Amino acid sequence: MTLRTILTAAFMTLASAGMMAQSVKIAGTLRGSVPADLKLYVMPVGVSSLQPDSVSVNGQKILANTPVSPYNIYKVVAVANRRQNIVPVHLTVKKDAANLSMTIDAEGNIDFNKADADTKALVAFNDISVVRSKQLWMDGKTMQAEALKSLVLGYHAIADSLIRVCRPSTVTTQYLRLWASTFSFENMENLRFATGRMPQDVGVDIAAEAKRIAPAVDCPMSSAFDSSPRVVLASLPQGSLDERISAVENSVKDALLKLRIEDVLLNKYITTFRYAVNYDEGLSELTSLTERYGLDKKYLSEF
């Protein structure tokens, strides 16, 4: 069994069943004006799953079981009054258990009691990001170009400021900086849809920004962010499938990120290929790449 085969199997496991089988029991208290229709969920960051895990609410007691986050970061989701609030929290796991105490208001807004430095930094960045995202979609059409550019690209400065003030752990520090990079990239992608203005018209060069942040995104923690493959892809030269796969193989360091990027490229190739026009050429190219780089043969079968 080759290393790529092993990594591919690991990637497929990550994508379908989650990164880790070990689970953590999260227990704690819930205070405040708890909405009658409240539903709570928890999602471990860095673990892929089909749906979040439900949190049971019994009076003021809460209880959930979920896979362990490799970064000790979880997202608590509150659904109430037709609103959804998603808030990150840092939990210290001891003996497969963690304690969570939070207050919730009638609108489902969450406040964590006795939050540590990591949680304070995560919540602050989340709150700022929500406000700035709303501003992009609501005011972006009329904002001055320089102000709009600053709004889209300002997340790194925000993360660095929170890191200086809150002094979170090394892991959370890295997570915040990656979050800033990927979230900024997502806002660059959304710029045209949110404001009707092209990125270059407000001084935003997506390819240049992607090249700047891609080296930091190319790390094991990139698995915690859905947009990581798109960031790296945007930093690489355009071209044929052969040229792009070769660029990924030669430049991307993290093995699982490499597999995720190639999965994006190969699925796009298969779903958009003009089979009636040049099937033989496409099959030849894909066969050559599969043999050269040991790609999963499932792509050949799907083609």
- Phi, psi (5° rounding) for residue 96? 60, 30
Domain boundaries, the chain: 3-115, 119-302
CA atoms in the 13 A half-sphere facing the CB of 75? 16
The arrangement of strands across the sheet holding 83-90 comes to 83-90, 73-80, 39-44, 53-58, 61-67, 23-31, 97-104, 110-112
| Whole-prediction pTM | 0.87
Reported as type and span, the H/E element at residue 272 is helix 255-272
Nearest to 37 by CA among 14, 15, 7, 57: 57
pLDDT by residue (tens digit) across 109-120?
A: 999 999 999 999
Cα Rg for the chain, rounded, in angstroms?
21
What is the rounded CA–CA span in Å between residue 275 and residue 102?
55
CATH class (in words) of the domain with range 3-115 = mainly beta
Tell me the C-alpha distance between 33 and 172, whole Å: 31
Q: Over its length of 303 residues, how does the chain's per-residue pLDDT go in tens digits?
A: 454 654 555 554 544 444 445 899 999 999 988 888 899 999 999 987 668 899 999 888 999 999 999 999 999 999 988 889 999 999 999 999 999 999 998 888 999 999 999 999 999 999 999 999 999 999 999 999 999 999 999 999 999 999 999 999 999 999 999 999 999 999 999 999 999 999 999 999 999 999 999 999 999 999 999 999 999 999 998 999 999 999 999 999 999 999 999 999 999 999 999 999 889 999 999 999 999 999 999 999 999
